[in-house]
Amino acid sequence: MRVSKEALLIILAFIAPIIVELRTVLAWANIELTVLESVVLGLAIVALVLVWAFFPEDESSSETPERQLSNGD
Amino acid sequence: MTMSESGGTYIDNFPAEARVVRSALYSSFLALALGGLFGIIQTLHRTDIYRFIESDMYYTVLTAHGVFLVVTFTIFFLVGVFTWAVTTSLDRGVEDIRFTWLWYGLMTIGTVMAAAAILAGFTDSIDMSADVLFTFYAPLQAHWLFYLGLVVFVVGTWLAGADWFRSWWAWKQENPDERIPLPTFMVLTTMLMWYIATIGIAVSILVFLLPWSLGIIDSVNPTLTRTLFWFWGHPVVYFWLLPAYMMWYVMLPKISGGKLFSDPLARVVFILFLLLSTPVGIHHQYLDPGIAEGFKFIAMTNTMFLLLPSLLTAFTVVASMEHGARQRGGTGYFGWLKALPWRDPVFAGMALAGLMFAAGGFSGMINAGMNINYLVHNTLWVPGHFHLTVGTASALTFMAATYWLLPQLTGKALWNRSVALVQVVLWFLGMTFMSNSMHRAGLLGIPRRTAEPQYQGFEFEAGVGSVAELDFQLALGGALLAISIVLFLANVVGTAFNGRSDDLPANEFAETLSGPEDSPQVLDNLKLWTAIAVVLVILAYSFPLMSIVDRGGLYGPDISPFPVSIETLSLLAFTLEQYTTAAIATTGEFVQTTLTGVIR
């Protein structure tokens, strides 16, 4: 998990106002969503955040400098 | 800064005071429970989602919601946290604990009296009601018990202030060359503002509303009682907010892992609130026909100046948090935000409250502007605004602060930190939905203070979405807030019944990066700032009040002006003008002398 459960809770809280007003903001760009579309979009954003949060960190990327070092040797 | 040599918890160092503070906080939470209950009833009724009261009872519910939350909940919390702040920062107990219990007792008796009058409105079997809302000016009239209860309550707060001043004077005798410790300075300046502000409501109740409700006088001048109400009604906003500000200044930096950025800046902020909180109340009356536009313009100008201390606070508090985050290893322009202790409900609650307060500040600017105010006046926008300020900046900070204070006051660990974190986040979410929908509904012109906002033969039209969606958002937000209150109260009760803990942090508040030694001595001259505040109030209010009385009579039209006649009032006006001019001249000389001394 990339972040703690508590941090995830805070991130989701911060996203809430954005989701709530996203429909209004999109309307300024003449993109008019129905309630259902707004809910689906909101859930999709939450799902993306959850996937990002629960997806294991790429451990190989953190080891890259070490490998490069050893290759250099 | 360690507040006691022993470094123990608050209850270890001040067991007698801890009992009073605890009682004040529990009284506050009882009011929160009642006020929250009436809040959800009102939300579900207004949005027509679930109704089980008659609409003619809506004002009883609304009055109970308003009075219990913005008078009882907030002010009981304030007296508790201020007692904690004074005793902790002076490192001495109160001078006489019986006096402390006296003012707490008066506040409780006053609350019971006012609450009895309000709640009696739910039954026809008692000939008593107080369906006058929190904004209890004429022409709505309450039972005399309501007004008398408010008087007793306010006298209790005056005595509480006297108690804290007494502690400070006693401390000053022993520490003549010391600067006033910051938390005590904040308490004293807030109380000076309160003493000035409550003059308006004292006159309104004692001279007009109480005699009117007792039948001693036949009528009142509604514009006058409105103006006197708002004389108090705006500064009371800062009475709710300043304890939250104090916690942001003295606790948040410490919990963030750092120090307060600037003690002098914090003092300047509280002085500005003392000076500017009261001479602005007329901005609540932009649509009142009995007040000249010029007076309203002056009130608007003063109000815009009030943005300054709030912006200074935003800067200082965020700078302090950034300092804390960098001490914890945070880096980058924004990366430091991740290093903050978001897991801690005390921090998360206060930070989320501060964030929402920023949004409330922006909508407050709309309210304060004379021209754009006309767009939102008396619409649901206004409740949307103050649910962000008192309903979140104050309430959520108080709840978050409770998670730190309650263990200090009881010696018991917090019952459940995870529940506490969920609770503060739920409040943020609930208020996002509720306040956002209120603001948007207000822009459509949907009125506040009504059980039936849906006019017959007329449809409000939303620019984006629909009114039904806004109603749903409002009800959803209200429901989340109600759940949040239940979780909060569960944590309070759970903590109260927890066993004693030996593993609690010491009773401390934040150290400073720039301390009081960096600020001029004149900042601690409370007499000077009070004198200037009084002069500003006289300038802002004397002529509008005289004009209102001149136009509508002291006790309203067609009523004999007893005991003061218009002729004597003109004489009074002339005398007041002379005194004001003299006071300004004296204050000007005093300020010049003082500033010259400081500059040298």
CATH of B10-563, one of 3.30.830.10, 2.40.50.140, 3.10.20.90, 1.20.210.10: 1.20.210.10
Place of tokens 């801890």: B18
C-alpha count within 13 angstroms, C-beta hemisphere, residue B183: 26
Residue type, B488: F
Using the Cβ of A37 and the Cβ atoms of chain B, whether some distance falls under 8 Å is answered with no
Residues of B with CB below 8 A from A4's CB? 343
DSSP line for B96-162: -HHHHHHHHHHHHHHHHHHHHHHHGGG-SSSS----S-SS--TTS---HHHHHHHHHHHHHHHHHHH
Partner residues linked to B447 by β-bridges: B379
**Per-residue model confidence as pLDDT tens digits over B200-257:** 999 999 999 999 999 999 999 999 999 999 999 999 999 999 999 999 999 999 999 9
pLDDT of the residue at B465? 83
Residue B501 C-alpha from the chain's centroid: 33
Whole-number average pLDDT of chain A:
80
CA–CA dist B541, B311 (Å, integer): 26
Q: Which helix (H) or strand (E) holds B287?
A: none
Q: B-chain residues within 8 Å CB-CB of A9?
A: 421-422, 425
Between A7, A17, A24, which is nearest B432 by CB? A17
Which residues lie below 8 Å from residue B513, measured CB to CB, with a gap of 6+?
B259, B260, B261, B262, B320, B323
Q: How many CB pairs under 8 A join A and B?
A: 40
User: Is B343's CB within 8 Å of A4's CB?
Assistant: yes
DSSP state of B56: G
Residues B60, B120 contacting (CB under 8 angstroms): no
What is the band of A71 on the pLDDT scale with cuts at 50, 70, 90? very low
Helix axis angle, B526-552 to B222-233, nearest 10°: 160
Positive or negative: CA dihedral B578, B583, B584, B585: positive
Contact predicate B38/B68, CB 8 Å: yes
Contacts with A32 from chain B: Cβ below 8 Å: 464
Tokens of B315: 């800067």
**Residue B589: predicted pLDDT:** 75
Tokens 């921090």: give the residue.
Answer: B347
**SS3 for B513-541, per residue?**
CCCHHHCCHHHHCHHHHHHHHHHHHHHHH
> Is residue B268 packed enough to be buried (19+ CB in 10 Å), middle (13-18) or exposed (0-12)?
middle
Is B343–A27 a contact, with Cβ atoms under 8 angstroms apart? no
Q: Is A44 on the interface with B (CB under 8 A)?
A: no
Residue A67, pLDDT > 50, answer no
Local structure of B61: helix, strand or coil: helix
DSSP E strand boundaries for B306-453: none
A21 has a chain B CB within 8 A of its CB: yes
Determine contact, residues B287/B374, Cβ cutoff 8 Å.
yes
Assess A4–B contact: CB distance below 8 Å, yes or no.
Answer: yes
Q: What are phi and psi of A3, to 5 degrees?
A: -130, 165
Determine, for residues A10 and B464 on separate chains, whether the beta-carbon distance falls below 8 Å.
Answer: no
Ordered DSSP codes for B385-412: HHHHIIIIIIHHHHHHHHHHHHHHHHSB
Distance CA B41, CA B51 (A): 8
pLDDT single digits (tens) B4-47: 445 799 999 999 999 999 999 999 999 999 999 999 999 999 99
Q: Please, which residues bridge with residue B2 across strands?
A: B508
For B503, the 3-state DSSP assignment is coil
Ramachandran quadrant class, B9 (left: phi over 0; alpha: psi -120 to 50; beta: rest): beta
Element (H, E) at A40: helix A35-54
Distance CA B4, CA B101 (A): 23
Inspect the interface and report whether the beta carbons of A13 and B352 lie closer than 8 Å.
yes
Q: A27 contacts in B (CB within 8 Å)?
A: 463-464
Q: How confident is the model at residue A66 (pLDDT cuts 50, 70, 90)?
A: very low
Q: Determine the pLDDT at residue B2.
A: 42
Task: Collapse the DSSP code of B512 into the 3-class scheme (helix H, G, I; strand E, B; otherwise coil) and give the result.
Answer: strand
* Reported confidence tier of residue A65, pLDDT bands at 50, 70, 90: very low
* CB distance B197 to B277 below 8 Å: yes
Domain ranges of chain A: 1-54
Q: Are the C-beta atoms of B494 and B403 separated by less than 8 Å?
A: no
Q: What is the 3-state secondary structure (H, E, C) of B234-295?
A: CHHHHHHHHHHHHHHHHCHHHHHCCCECCHHHHHHHHHHHHHHCCCCHHHHHCCCCCCCHHH
Q: Higher confidence at residue A1 or residue B226?
A: B226
Position B447: which residue type?
P
C-alpha to C-alpha distance for B418 and B413, rounded to whole angstroms: 13
Candidates B386, B476, B374, B488; CA nearest to B433 is B476
Q: In chain B, which stretches have pLDDT less than 50? A: 1-5, 561, 564
Which of B 468-527 lie inside 8 A of A, CB atoms?
Answer: 469, 473
Q: Enter the DSSP assignment of B125.
A: S
Helix axis angle, B417-443 to B395-410, nearest 10° = 160
Q: Name the 3-class secondary structure at B481.
A: helix
- Measured between alpha carbons, how far is B250 from B342 in angstroms, rounded to an integer? 18
From chain B, the residues in CB contact with A13 under 8 A are 352, 425, 428-429
State yes or no: pLDDT of A69 exceeds 80.
no
Q: What are phi and psi of B14, to 5 degrees?
A: -135, 70
**Token reading at B403:** 């998670």
Distance between CA B473 and CA B435 in Å, rounded? Answer: 9
Closest CA to B245 of B363, B426, B82, B93: B82
The set of catalytic residues of B is: 234, 238, 385-387, 448-449
In angstroms, the CA A8 to CA A14 distance is 10
Which pLDDT score, from 0 to 100, does residue B571 have?
64
Q: Which structure tokens are listed for B171?
A: 């401390």
User: d(Cα B208, Cα B553) in Å, to the nearest integer?
Assistant: 12
What phi and psi, each to the nearest 5 degrees, are found at residue B508?
-135, 160
